[in-house]
Amino acid sequence: MATERTLSIIKPDAVAKNVIGEIESRFEKGGLAIVAAKMLHLSREQAEGFYAEHKERPFFNDLVGFMTSGPVVVQVLEGENAIAANRELMGATNPKEAAPGTIRADFAETIDANAVHGSDSPESAAREIAYFFEENEICPRG
């Protein structure tokens, strides 16, 4: 399996809980390297564009409202099989269904405020990374 990159977001609920470091530690202990990172307070336009694939879903407005409710950390994680590895570390979308020891089981309360986002395919990873980062803002470990 080749080295991959994936986009990760620490969502407003986790930033507000002051568990950025604990979540970053899960990624690092899970074999992923943080190769780019920034803290942002997303505008409505930025959040709508990021979640454009969910535009027709009933939860879209709530999702955009939540993602703009406070600062987030957007970052690129790099490692073997990074897209699947990150989703494994995150756990199920609904924290009530997330496996014990996953980020969502340990830090999230609800399906809306579920602590983290992770790209779900190589195509979404490429789009989502480019949405937030220029190539020269990414620092591979090499």
Nearer to ligand RTP, 14 or 63 (CB): 63
Under the criterion CB under 6 A, does residue 89 sit at the interface with ligand RTP? no
Q: Which stretch binds ligand RTP (CB under 6 A): 15-23, 26-34, 69-77, 109-117?
A: 109-117
Under the criterion CB under 6 A, does residue 25 sit at the interface with ligand RTP? no
Structural contact between residues 108 and 128, judged by C-beta atoms closer than 8 angstroms: no
**The only residue of 75, 107, 118, 132 in contact with ligand RTP, by rule CB under 6 A:** 118
Nearer to ligand RTP, 12 or 79 (CB): 12
Shortest distance, CB of residue 136 to Mg ion, whole angstroms? 27
Q: Which does 89 bind (CB under 5 to 8 A by kind): ligand RTP, Mg ion, none?
A: none
State the catalytic residue, choosing from 98, 115, 117, 129.
117
Catalytic residues: 117
